[in-house]
């Protein structure tokens, strides 16, 4: 099942370079879409509804695609709840720590089995039809949760796969590059880049376990990393709940803090 959502004004012209951009509705994917648009690509945004508990991000993806001028926006339903294996697709408490008890090889319970492999495969199929020059993904391997499918080695391997597994790549000379402009940036760098691109951060949603009203929990790893980035960048997060509002409802949750320096972007 899929939905085609009317997007923004980024219509493809004869000169525009086409790209498929994976858009979750979170901070990193929003910055990536803004980056691709600034780079002159006609962006075909792809959002995957995989049965994630944090459905709010899909609603935000619809808004982001429109505001950032995507040429087209598709939402594909691929229900990974059928397989399970992740705190993001199963009922139960959302882990707050980065390395929960029992995590295999330090990979947290929020890891979704083969998620980026699935997402990139869907993006590749659309990119081949469009004859797109690039697939953009907001993967990050600096301030991240340790997911194996966010690493440079994985993205390089997928690019090789794309050239071997498509009709365009094997017999028609088509080449597509997987571009991960945030791969070697800290979360603070990502926030600064978003501001330089005039991104409205209030349109993004990072929390894995938001309230029914959409308020971030402030405890999950996604919330901690987001808060860390805004704090280190010295930029207020418009999605952060004011301290006095927390006090009014007796919420004592905190967000984490740490950081690293700037590194270059990556493409393959």
Predicted model pTM: 0.85
As a whole number, mean pLDDT of residues 223-252 equals: 74
Report the pLDDT value the prediction gives residue 255, as an integer from 0 to 100: 34
Task: Tell me how far apart the alpha carbons of residues 231 and 233 are, in angstroms, rounded to a whole number.
Answer: 5
Residue closest to 116 by CA, chosen among 87, 94, 137: 137
Report the pLDDT value the prediction gives residue 92, as an integer from 0 to 100: 78
Mean pLDDT of the chain, nearest integer: 86
Please report which confidence band the pLDDT of residue 7 belongs to, taking 50, 70 and 90 as the band edges.
low
Residue 46: CB atoms within 10 Å? 28
Instruction: Classify domain 2-186+262-267 at the CATH topology level.
Output: Rossmann fold (3.40.50)
The mean-pLDDT minimum among 21-30, 182-191, 245-254 falls in 245-254
Burial of 157 (0-12, 13-18, 19+ CB in 10 A): middle
Burial of 161 (0-12, 13-18, 19+ CB in 10 A): middle
Rounded alpha-carbon distances, angstroms, from residue 153 to 75, 104, 141, 209, 266: 28, 20, 11, 30, 11
Task: Tell me how far apart the alpha carbons of residues 201 and 138 are, in angstroms, rounded to a whole number.
Answer: 15
Task: Tell me how far apart the alpha carbons of residues 182 and 136 are, in angstroms, rounded to a whole number.
Answer: 10
As a whole number, mean pLDDT of residues 196-213 equals: 94
Enumerate the domain spans of the chain. 2-186+262-267
Task: Tell me how far apart the alpha carbons of residues 80 and 195 are, in angstroms, rounded to a whole number.
Answer: 33
Rounded alpha-carbon distances, angstroms, from residue 168 to 43, 130, 200: 20, 11, 37
């Amino acid at each position: 099942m899929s939905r085609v959502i009317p997007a923004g004004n980024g219509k493809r012209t004869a000169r525009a370079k086409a790209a498929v951009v994976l858009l979750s509705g979170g901070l990193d994917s929003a910055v990536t879409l803004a980056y691709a648009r600034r780079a002159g690509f006609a962006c075909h945004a792809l959002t995957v509804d995989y049965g994630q508990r944090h459905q709010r991000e899909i609603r935000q993806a619809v808004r982001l695609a429109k505001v950032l001028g995507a040429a087209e926006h598709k939402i594909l339903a691929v229900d990974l709840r059928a397989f399970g294996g992740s705190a993001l697709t199963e009922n139960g408490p959302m882990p707050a720590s980065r390395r929960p008890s029992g995590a295999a090889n330090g990979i947290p319970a929020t890891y979704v089995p083969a998620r980026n492999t699935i997402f990139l495969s869907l993006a590749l199929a659309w990119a081949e039809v469009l004859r797109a020059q690039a697939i953009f993904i907001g993967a990050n391997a600096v301030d991240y949760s340790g997911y194996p499918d966010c690493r440079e080695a994985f993205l390089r391997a997928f690019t090789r796969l794309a050239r071997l597994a498509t009709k365009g790549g094997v017999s028609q000379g088509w080449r597509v590059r997987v571009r991960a402009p945030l791969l070697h940036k800290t979360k603070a760098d990502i926030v600064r880049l978003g501001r330089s691109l005039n991104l409205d951060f209030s349109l993004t949603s990072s929390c894995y376990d938001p309230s029914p009203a959409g308020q971030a929990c402030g405890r999950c790893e996604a919330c901690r990393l987001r808060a860390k980035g805004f704090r280190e960048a010295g930029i207020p997060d418009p999605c952060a709940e004011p301290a006095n509002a927390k006090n009014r409802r007796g919420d004592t949750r905190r967000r984490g803090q740490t950081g690293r320096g700037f590194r270059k972007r990556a493409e393959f």
